[in-house]
Structure formats: structure tokens, C-alpha cells
């Protein structure tokens, strides 16, 4: 069946579908999500896993087009059956404009989530009302009996940052449709950007860090696991950056490492003597070519298989459980622990920005609030006025 063209609807209310039929199995958008879902189910994606890629997409008739080419509220609508094709065109555009593979993979998952939602609610088209309903579902879908995306394991609320990421993705996608003259206006223009306040989650305590490192020393790969933990603690690099390190990127003499961050930008991070020693001991048993990955997966079966983000997530979760932690032990928690400890030890926020790879200084400044979390205790301990009480009063002449 030939691809259907975008049509513009006149109704503002969500459109119900007349009938449903399975989506073509060769749909580029639906097929590519399988890999993302498999990795997401293992913890690869930090925020939310994708819905079932086998979920059928309707092929019901489009909403009737109005003569003016826009809906009554001046915003455009697209047919739900056209969403996979248009999304794939946009992702191809992102690819040849050199967006990072992880960015494209995440956007693909987000758009599949929207396609699943439209099918789940039996909506024939997508406009502002449907997008608002989707964002509401994203926040509250875990409250339904079947869980978010119809999966019982997704029974917890998503972070506000996740909702904002979806909003940004959809805004960019529909803006592209307008630039391509497929839509006259974006249906996202009437949806305000969600507020995602910085979550003041506390970093790991020194005792918790030591407990996890001790657990690593008792693991199946003690040298590798200890080197991973100390490198995360000493540099604050992201999980994708750690998994992308090659043997050639490590310089033990100058104790520095080159990592590939967001936007395909390289930066240099530095580590201390303890981390350097852990890496040196690990490299004694990790021989290989310069282009090979620094850290290998648990089960390589004789092949050179790099440690993946999902494998790293599972490793950190396992070590946290062995250490008896009653909280998350994800790579991002170690990134937060590095940032807060770095500032508490007297470093400035500008050097923190360079180490973390933040383009915007305001992102790095958010960690200042966490580094000052114990300011109340310090005020009570070092209050100048309170210390006056300890001084002996001078006798009057």
C-alpha cells in the first residue's frame, strides 16, 4: 500500500479511529525500536524504556482536510498512520546532519512511544490535544493497572527531566515538519515547556563508596570493576563515555584520559594516583590493540566485546546490592558524587564544567546547592557568635 499523505484536520478534540490493523512489519520506525527496547529493558536508557514495538498502528482513514489547510485553532494535525514514515524521514535527516547515534536512538524510542499511545487510545490523528494527553499519560501512566506502555514493570513515575526531554523531542520534530512545508504550523506551540527543577538528590557517602569498592574487589573481575568505579569517582564521566574509551585513550604517565562526550565532542579528563594505580593493575591483564575497548563485557566468548551501557548499569546495580546499599548505585549517582565531592574539596565550578563536559555553566552550578547541603551543620559548628561564649570575659577595672 502506498504511503498516505499528511492531511489537516478541523476538529480540536482527539479523533477516534474507525478500525485498526497491524502495522507493516518492515516499518523503519517500528523495526528499529527492537534494538532500543532490548537495551532499554537492560537499563541502557536512563529515563524510560520504549513501549512494545509490535504494537499495531492503525490504518484508518485520515481526518478530513479543511479548505484552509489548518484546524479551527490554527494548529496542524498529522495522521497517526503517517507518523512512523515521517519520524523515520526526520531521523535520517538527523543522521546526515551528524547528530550522535545515542541522540537518534533516544528520539526513535520517544517517537515510538507516541505512536504506541495513539494506537492505544485509538486516535486517528495527532494534534495539540493528543500531545497534551500523551504528556499527561507519561506522568501518570504508571498508575494504570497494566503499567505504563501496558507493561507491569513500568509502575513508577518518570522524572520531570524525562517529561521535558519528550517535549523537546516532539517540539524539534514538529518544527522540522513545518520547515519541510509538511505542516503549516507546529501543534507544540501551544504546549508550554514542562518545568524540570533540579533534583537535589544526595551523593554517595564516603562509607557507601568504600562499601561498593570493597564489593568490586570481591567480584568475578576485581581489577576491572575497581578500575571502573575509581575512574567514575575521579572523573564523573557519563556511562556512554566510559564504555567508549579505547586503550589508546588512556595516558597513565600524565594520568589523563580522552573521552567522546555529547555532540561528538572530545575532551580530556584527569584522574588521581589511586585511579592510575587501579588502571595500571587492570592493564597488566588487559592486553590488546590500541583501538580495542578499554573495558570488556563479562562474557566475551573469545571475542572482543566492549562493555555496553546496559552491562555497566547491571554491574553497578549488582555491586550496590552486594554492598548493601538501600539506594541507587547507577553511573549517574557516581557522576553526582564526583561533582559534589569536587566542589566540597575546594575546586571551582569552572573546572567542574570542563570535567563534566557541560556546555552551559548553569548546569554545573546546580551542583553547588548539593555541595552546600551540609551548610546548616557547618553553621552550627563554626558560628562566630557562638564561639564568643567560649572566650573568658575581661574584668572591668
CA distance 163 to 183: 24
Find the radius of gyration of the CA atoms of the chain.
26
Measure the CA angle with vertex 232, ends 298 and 247; round to 5°.
60
- 136 labelled catalytic: no
Q: Catalytic: which of 238, 282, 309, 336?
A: 238
Q: Could you tell me the maximum CA-CA distance found in the chain, to the nearest angstrom? A: 106
The answer to whether 335 is a known catalytic residue is yes
- Out of 107, 148, 335, 336, pick the active-site residue: 335
332 a catalytic residue: yes
C-alpha cell at 194: 514542562
Q: Where are the beta strands (DSSP E) in the chain?
A: 78-79, 125-126, 250-251, 256-260, 266-270
Q: What is the DSSP string of 125-160?
A: EE-HHHHHHHHHHHHHGGGSTT-GGG-TT--SPPPH
- Sign of the CA dihedral running 102, 160, 51, 168: negative
Measured CA to CA in angstroms, residue 325 lies from 175, 313, 321, 328 at distances of: 44, 15, 6, 8
Is residue 358 annotated as a catalytic residue, yes or no? yes
Catalytic member of 38, 99, 164, 262: 262
Cell numbers at 397, concatenated: 577595672
Q: Of 139, 246, 270, 332, which residue is the catalytic one?
A: 332
Which residues does residue 306 pair with via DSSP β-bridges, in sequence order? 296
297 three-state secondary structure:
coil
Whether 154 contacts 116, CB under 8 Å: no
Query: DSSP letters of 16-82?
Result: BPS---PPPTT-HHHHHHHHHHHHHHTT-SSS-PPPPTT-----PPPPPPPTTSS-TTS---EEGGG
Q: Do residues 63 and 125 make contact, with C-beta atoms less than 8 angstroms apart?
A: yes
- The three grid cell numbers given for residue 345, joined into one nine-digit string: 574539596
DSSP letter assigned to residue 357: T
Concerning whether 367 is annotated as a catalytic residue, the answer is yes
Helices (H) and strands (E) in the chain, counts: 15, 5
- Letter string b/e over residues 368-394, b meaning 16 or more CB atoms within 10 A of that residue's CB: eebbeeeeeeeeeeeeeeeeeeeeeee
253 is annotated as an active-site residue? no
> What are the residues facing 79 on neighbouring strands?
125
Active site residues: 238, 262, 332, 335, 358, 367
Amino acid at each position: 500500500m502506498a504511503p498516505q499523505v499528511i492531511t489537516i484536520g478541523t476538529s480540536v478534540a482527539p479523533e477516534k479511529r474507525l478500525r485498526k490493523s497491524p502495522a507493516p512489519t518492515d516499518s523503519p520506525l517500528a523495526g528499529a525500536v527492537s534494538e532500543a527496547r532490548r537495551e532499554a529493558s537492560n537499563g541502557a536508557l536512563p529515563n524510560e524504556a520504549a513501549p512494545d514495538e509490535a504494537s499495531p498502528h492503525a490504518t484508518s482513514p485520515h481526518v478530513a482536510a479543511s479548505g484552509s489547510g489548518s484546524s479551527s485553532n490554527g494548529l496542524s494535525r498529522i495522521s497517526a498512520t503517517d507518523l512512523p514514515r515521517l519520524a523515520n524521514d526526520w531521523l535520517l535527516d538527523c543522521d546526515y546532519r551528524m547528530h550522535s547515534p545515542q541522540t537518534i536512538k533516544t528520539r526513535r524510542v520517544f517517537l515510538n512511544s507516541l505512536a504506541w499511545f495513539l494506537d492505544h487510545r485509538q486516535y486517528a490523528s495527532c494534534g495539540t490535544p493528543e500531545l497534551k494527553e500523551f504528556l499527561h499519560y507519561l506522568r501518570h501512566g504508571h498508575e494504570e493497572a497494566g503499567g505504563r506502555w501496558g507493561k507491569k514493570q513500568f509502575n513508577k513515575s518518570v522524572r520531570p527531566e524525562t517529561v521535558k526531554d519528550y517535549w523537546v523531542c516532539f517540539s524539534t520534530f514538529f518544527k522540522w515538519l513545518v520547515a519541510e512545508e509538511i505542516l503549516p504550523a507546529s501543534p507544540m506551540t501551544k504546549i508550554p515547556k514542562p518545568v524540570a527543577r533540579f533534583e537535589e538528590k544526595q551523593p554517595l557517602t564516603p562509607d557507601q563508596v568504600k562499601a561498593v569498592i570493597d564489593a568490586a574487589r570481591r567480584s568475578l573481575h576485581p581489577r576491572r570493576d575497581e578500575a571502573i568505579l575509581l575512574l567514575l569517582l575521579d572523573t564523573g564521566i557519563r556511562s556512554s563515555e566510559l564504555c567508549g574509551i579505547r586503550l589508546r585513550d588512556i595516558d597513565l604517565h600524565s594520568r589523563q584520559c580522552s573521552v567522546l562526550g555529547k555532540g561528538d565532542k572530545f575532551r580530556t579528563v584527569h584522574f588521581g594516583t589511586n585511579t592510575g594505580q587501579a588502571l595500571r593493575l587492570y592493564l597488566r591483564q588487559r592486553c590488546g590493540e590500541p583501538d580495542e575497548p578499554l573495558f570488556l563485557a563479562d562474557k566475551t566468548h573469545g571475542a572482543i566485546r566492549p562493555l555496553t551501557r546496559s552491562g555497566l548499569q547491571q554491574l553497578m546495580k549488582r555491586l550496590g546490592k552486594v554492598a548493601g546499599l538501600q539506594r541507587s548505585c547507577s553511573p549517574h549517582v557516581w557522576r553526582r558524587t564526583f561533582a559534589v565531592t569536587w566542589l566540597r574539596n575546594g575546586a571551582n565550578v569552572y573546572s567542574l564544567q570542563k570535567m563534566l563536559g557541560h556546555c552551559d555553566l548553569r548546569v554545573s552550578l546546580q551542583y553547588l546547592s548539593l555541595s552546600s547541603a551540609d551548610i546548616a551543620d557547618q553553621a552550627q559548628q563554626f558560628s562566630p557568635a557562638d564561639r564568643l561564649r567560649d572566650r573568658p570575659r575581661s574584668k572591668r577595672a
